[in-house]
Amino acid sequence: MIILALESSGNVASAAVAERNKILAEYTVNIGKTHSQTLLPMIDRVLGDAEMSVNDLDAIAVSRGPGSFTGLRIGSATAKGLAASAGIPILEVPTLEALAVGVGNAGGRLICPVIDARRNEVYTALYEVCGESIEQVGEERAMSMEDLLAELMAGEREVIFTGDALRIHGEKIKSVGQGKFILAPLSARDLRAGCVATVGLSMLESGKAIDGSQHSPVYLRLSSAERERLEQGKPLE
């Protein structure tokens, strides 16, 4: 099994080619350019370095959200176009789960990915490592950082945090956590396509691939434009 994995849910753009137990090629950039500028050239490069074409792939794994609305749409459109041209399925990889996988061995702690959702909110969920697999604990949510920290402080488990929201909330997490909360290393905080590929390969083995026409990003909440329309009493289009 060989897959192409794409990540464009946040500031990072990343593409990787992977087979069953190996990342063959991977490129990741966080240079401020739009994903529409960076993603396609990166795909060409990883496929070229792996000496493959889209027709050699069994599926395309894409980070399906939550995350940046614009970034998710770019990744989704790219994945659907490539999948349609090659006649292969798509693997919808939960962005938060892929972030949790990037932490690795959490030492028995819960893993809490936090993605900046703006308005002092984060997208989040909880995960724990069970043997060689990772399992979600509870649902994906958009919530305030204050509510999340209060909820986790009331629990008994230590928690390791990861994700791009640490740039904004990292100091608050450490201050509130008083040793109970730990921040993941800098190298694990930004999502890479290699982690998307890791989850995607497991999904492919479990028969969770879907036809590209069925794929759409997961946002968890309305966009700013949609919220503004509701606030103005206008119907959503």
Same structural domain for residues 13 and 83?
A: yes
Q: Which residues pair with 3 in a beta bridge?
A: 18, 59
pLDDT tens-digit map of 62-100: 999 999 999 999 999 999 999 999 999 999 999 999 999
pLDDT at 36 over 70: yes
Q: Could you tell me if residue 132 is inside a domain?
A: yes
- CA 113/CA 96 separation, integer angstroms: 6
Confidence of residue 233 (pLDDT cuts 50, 70, 90): low
- The verdict on 90 and 117 lying in the same domain is no
| Pair 169, 144: CB distance under 8 Å | no
> Based on the domain organization, do 162 and 117 belong to the same domain?
yes
Q: At what angle do helices 95-103 and 193-205 cross, to 10 degrees?
A: 110
**Stronger pLDDT, 217 or 237, i.e. the higher one:** 217
In a domain, 234, yes or no: no
pLDDT tens digits, 179-220:
999 999 999 999 999 999 999 999 999 999 999 999 999 999
Structure tokens at 39: 């993603």
Q: Are residues 81 and 49 in the same domain?
A: yes
Strand 110-118 with 121-130, pairing: antiparallel
Q: Is the pLDDT of residue 2 over 50?
A: yes
Is residue 161 one of the residues assigned to a domain? yes
- Specify whether the CB–CB gap between 146 and 122 falls below 8 A: no
Res. 26 pLDDT band, cuts 50 70 90: very high
In a domain, 171, yes or no: yes
- Looking at the structure, tell me whether residues 77 and 130 fall in a common domain: no
* 236 within domain boundaries: no
Phi, psi of 220 (to 5 degrees): 75, -25
How many structural domains compose the chain? 2
Give the DSSP H or E segment for 224. helix 224-231
Is 86 found in the same domain as 111? no
Whether 217 contacts 223, CB under 8 Å: no
Does residue 197 sit in the same domain as residue 85? yes
Residue 132's CATH number: 3.30.420.40
Q: Is the pLDDT of residue 232 over 70?
A: no
Cα separation, 76 vs 156, in Å, equals 38
Q: Cα–Cα distance between 57 and 230 in angstroms, integer?
A: 43
Domain that holds residue 214: 2-94+191-228
What percent of the chain has a predicted confidence (pLDDT) above 90?
86
> Is residue 183 within 8 Å of 160, Cβ to Cβ?
yes
- Predicted confidence at residue 132, as pLDDT, reads 82
| Spatial distance between the Cα atoms of 114 and 95, rounded to a whole number of angstroms | 10
Q: Is residue 233 part of a domain?
A: no
Q: Does 237 fall in a domain?
A: no
195 and 85 share a domain? yes
pTM of the model: 0.93
